[in-house]
Homo-oligomer: A and B are copies of this chain.
């Protein structure tokens, strides 16, 4: 946060690498060695910025919080409306936010009992709360809002698990139009 330029700091490069490894290879692949190597930094260099793996996770989650607030704001004012915006962003578009979200979901599941896992879950719960509020406000119907959110979760799950189907988004739009939600 010291410069406004486009050059990414070592710190951000490390977090980027961590997220990418988590997304593509799961938590077992996201070792400190692998992160350092992918970011083209030595392990010692990594551990200067993040003294432990916990700190790496914490740094990642902190970045997500910032991006999450911006995402909710965009959702509110999206031209296509909040519902379609939500659905569109529930499939992995390859954006940095999606990458970070998938990485967080991996942490949440791969360490169900650990403190890091709990923090990742808290982060996701907060994001989901923000999205739900916009959906419920826009739709004026909690049941419908919750259903839309679950559909988004389903789209996310399929992407994350590698089960995604091509036409799913169109099928959902079709159904939601019948409900007057789109």
Contacts and interface: CB of A to CB of B under 8 A. Distances in A.
A161 B150 CA distance: 13
A68 interface: no
* A: interface residue count bin: 35 or more
Interface of A is mostly: helix
Contacts of A110: 26-28, 106, 109-110
Nearest to A113: B25
Copies in the complex: 2
Contact of A171 (B28, B106, B142, B160): B142
Contact of A108 (B24, B117, B142, B161): B161
Nearest to A147: B175
Interface in A1-56: 23-29
Contact of A154 (B25, B117, B154, B170): B154
Nearest to A110: B26
A128 B112 CA distance: 25
